[in-house]
Amino acid sequence: MADTTKEEPTEAPAAGDEDDNGYAPEEEAQVEFQPLVKLEEVKTQTMEEDEEVLFKMRAKLFRWESDSWEKETKLWKERGTGDIKFLQNKETKKVRLLMRREKTMKICANFFVAPGTDLKENAGSDRSWVWQCLDFSEEKEEISTLAIRFANSENAQKFKEQFLAAMELNKSDGKTGPSEPEPAGEVKRDDAEGKPEEKLVGDSATPPVEPEKGAAE
């Protein structure tokens, strides 16, 4: 016998009613953070603003110094790798050599290119030079024996030519400039000590230290 029961029609949800199975997107919170301290941009001074770059080339620098364990033993210690520059003061026309370590930019050489400096091939290499100078890269000036090594002999020869040219410029009778390089960045000097004038290489009183063969290769 057929089922004559009639199904009652389901009522559609009223407009505006929430559907439990529907998707309700979450509202994104709009949060704005303000810095506690506002930092203003400050231009960094390198103390090179009043100088012209005459020469710039990548190299590795070494210094002849005492061993950390045996003070009486001397050896070549690496000072850093980076761009070595000859900088000429725009007013005095004097030239100094400045080198900073790459990445850290810490100074590893900073000295006035004194006339009479004896620039020699280091251990017979055609891409490395050695000389003695009054260096200002540390807190106090110090007579240092330095060696520099380039990627090839061509770059080393260009450096030698510029080094000799810098000595000639500093020997000229132009404007009288300082007999020492200007401080650069972290370089500090203490002039109150009244130290006697120290002789540079080229004077028979202070012969250069002979490096070990192949030490800076």
CATH number at residue 156: 2.30.29.30
Q: Specify whether the CB–CB gap between 189 and 183 falls below 8 A.
A: yes
What count of other Cβ atoms lies within 10 Å of the Cβ of residue 24? 8
Give just the sign of the alpha carbon dihedral 80, 86, 87, 91: positive
| pLDDT attached to residue 172 | 78
The burial of 149, by beta-carbon neighbours within 10 Å (0-12 exposed, 13-18 middle, 19 or more buried), is given as buried
The pTM (predicted TM-score) of the whole model is 0.62
**What's the average model confidence in pLDDT over 142-170?**
97
User: At residue 109, does pLDDT exceed 80?
Assistant: yes
Task: Name the residue range of residue 99's domain.
Answer: 51-188
Q: What are phi and psi of 145, to 5 degrees?
A: -100, 115
Per residue in 9-20, pLDDT tens?
666 555 555 555
Q: Tell me whether residue 36 is in a domain.
A: no
CA-nearest of 193, 63, 191, 77 to 133 is 63
Q: Where are the beta strands (DSSP E) in 2-68?
A: 51-66
Single-letter code of the amino acid located at 155? N
User: At residue 137, does pLDDT exceed 70?
Assistant: yes
Per residue in 36-74, pLDDT tens?
787 777 777 777 888 999 999 999 999 999 877 777 788
The total of structural domains in the chain comes to 1
Q: Where are the beta strands (DSSP E) in 24-117?
A: 51-66, 74-89, 95-100, 107-112
For the chain, what percent of residues have pLDDT higher than 70? 66
Q: Specify whether the CB–CB gap between 122 and 128 falls below 8 A.
A: yes
Written as six digits, the tokens of 181 are 């390089």
| pLDDT attached to residue 83 | 97
What integer best gives the mean pLDDT of the chain? 77
Helix, strand, coil share of the chain (percent; to 5)? 10, 30, 60
